[in-house]
Amino acid sequence: MNMIIKEIKEIYDKYEKSFEECVLHDNEYELFKVLVAPMRFGKTRLAITHNIPFLLEKTNVNCIVLTSPLGSILKQKERLLKNTINQLSGVEFCEDPIDAQDALEEGQKVVLVMTNMGAWVGSKSEQFFNKIDKSKVAFIIDEAHTW
C-alpha cells in the first residue's frame, strides 16, 4: 500500500511542478493554458490546495476566479477552499463579483467562486471584469468547454 501512495505522490508532484513551470516560465499573456489529467485524478483538489496558494503567493495575481459548470461541484469543495484560503494572509473568499470588487479595492486578494455561466454572462460579472486589472487575474475553469 505504501508503494502505491508513494507513486501517487510522485505523480501529483510532477503535476504540480508542471503547473509551476508553466506559470513562472511561460511569460506569454492572454493565452489559454490547459493542464489535463484523467477523471478522478484530483484536479479540483490540486487547484485548491496547490495552484491557488501558489498563484497568490508566488506571482502578482490578486484575484483568482474559480469556476465550475455546476454550483454543486463548488459547494462540495467549499470547505476545502475556505480552509485553504484561511491559511493565506490577506485573501478573501467571495461568491459575488461586487464583494470581490470591494475586497480588491480594500487591498485584499480574492478567490471568486462562480459557475461557468455566471462568470461569463452575468451583468455583475461584466461590471467586475470591466473594472479590475486583468493582468492580475487568473482563471481556473473546471470543464471550460461547458456552461
Is 1's pLDDT higher than 70? no
Q: Rounded distance, CA 139 to CA 72, Å?
A: 19
Per-residue pLDDT tens digits for 60-87: 999 999 998 877 788 888 999 999 999 9
Per-residue pLDDT tens digits for 108-139: 999 999 998 888 888 889 899 999 998 899 99
Phi, psi torsion values for 68, nearest 5 degrees:
-150, 155
Can you list the positions of beta strands (E) in the chain? Answer: 63-68, 91-94, 109-115, 137-141
What's the pTM value of the predicted model, to 2 decimals? 0.86
